[in-house]
Amino acid sequence: MAPSPAHGPAETAPKRPSVGWGVVITLAGWVILAFPAFIALFLTAASFSGCFLDCTTPKPQPAAGMAGVIILAAMVACPPMLGLAVVRGGRKWWIALGTFVLVVFGFIVYASM
């Protein structure tokens, strides 16, 4: 007796990367960005206070300080977003990551003008 077409081999869904890959990508991103984040934190603090090495007359620059805060937030948020985009594999995660990166770079360009 021949098997009926309704009981044929089940189609398997495409295999997604495991959650471990997302964790590894996130941690690797944070390790790679650790030193640049420290430098950005130092420069952000100097921008808000107005003093870099010596402080005779402080000149605070709050716009540059806010740009530094946004850059620091991006350095913290981008690696988990990249890990989610790889693990979930959906197009919406890649669009969200790309939009986030474009908004951050747009703010940096706007603040530098």
Taking the chain (113 residues) in consecutive chunks of 10 residues, what is each chunk's mean pLDDT? 58 75 92 90 87 78 85 89 87 87 80 68
Model pTM above 0.75: no
Tell me phi and psi for residue 77, to 5 degrees: -85, -30
Sequence ranges of the domains in the chain: 18-49+61-112
Q: State residue 5's pLDDT score.
A: 59
- What are the tokens at 82? 């990249």
Q: State residue 27's pLDDT score.
A: 94
Separation between Cα atoms, residue 97 and residue 92, nearest integer Å: 9
Q: State residue 54's pLDDT score.
A: 76
Q: Are 93 and 36 in contact, with CB atoms under 8 Å apart?
A: no
Q: State residue 65's pLDDT score.
A: 86
